[in-house]
Structure 1
């Protein structure tokens, strides 16, 4: 089971990055009608959410700046961004680095039970799997937004 999860990790993140790199730079900060955020926000949100779910950001990891929670946490909006906002290239680099750290997770930790179930997940492995599910949801948003923006051009 763990091999399948690690393969899914690689597949999901690689496909996400491939799609992010295929978005024209001028499209990432467009917020199309009917959408709550931008492609830029979704990219940062996936990075920040995965760091939070898998590595307990910002409490137990310092791989991302603390202000990422203010920029990309659930309920945040690009219209309210203040201060330094990382570029897509910085976020993409951080996504790649995060994948390297994800692949170093000890197999035995996947069966560790959480102190309390979180979002219905009872073990750390289930939480990692949820993070991948979440990433795929946001990839769908990015793909839909890209099509809407390109069609409106």
Structure 2
């Protein structure tokens, strides 16, 4: 089961990257009515949330700039962005790098119990699975936003 989780993680991230790479740059910062953020934010949020859940960002991981928490953490929004904001292409490169690091996770570590439950998850594998669920949830938001923006653009 653990190898299946790692395989699904790679599948989901590859699909996420493929979908984000296919988004026209002219719409990534458009926030359609009824949505709290835009595609650019969702890409950074997935990267940052996964880094936090899987690698312990900001306490145990220095793979991303610290300001990513201010830009992309839960509850943030593009309207509040200040300072350097990475482009979507930079974020996609970081998503690819993160995937390579995730592929190095030893299968046996997935059964390790967390010191205390986090988001209702009790093992590291459950936390990785939650990160996978979270990523696909945001992919759905990106796909919906893309469809709404393109539909309104073509009218």
TM-score, scaled relative to structure 1: 0.99
Paired position in structure 2 for 1:51: 51
1:106 Cα offset (Å): 1.2
Deviations 1:5-41 (A, max 9, x none): 1110110000000000010000000000000000000
User: Is 1:83 matched up with 2:80?
Assistant: no
Partners of 1:29 and 1:97 lie apart in 2 by 23
Partners of 1:86 and 1:117 lie apart in 2 by 32
1:26-105 residue pairs with structure 2 within 5 A? 26-105=26-105
Aligned pair count? 153
Structure 1 unaligned spans of 5+: none
The RMSD of aligned alpha carbons is 0.5
1:6-45 residue pairs with structure 2 within 5 A? 6-45=6-45
Bigger mean CA deviation after superposition, 15-24 or 103-112: 103-112
Q: Secondary structure at the residue paired with 2:116?
A: strand
Paired position in structure 2 for 1:148: 148
Partners of 1:9 and 1:49 lie apart in 2 by 14
TM-score, scaled relative to structure 2: 0.98
Paired position in structure 1 for 2:108: 108
Partners of 1:117 and 1:79 lie apart in 2 by 33
Partners of 2:150 and 2:128 lie apart in 1 by 33
Partners of 1:151 and 1:79 lie apart in 2 by 24
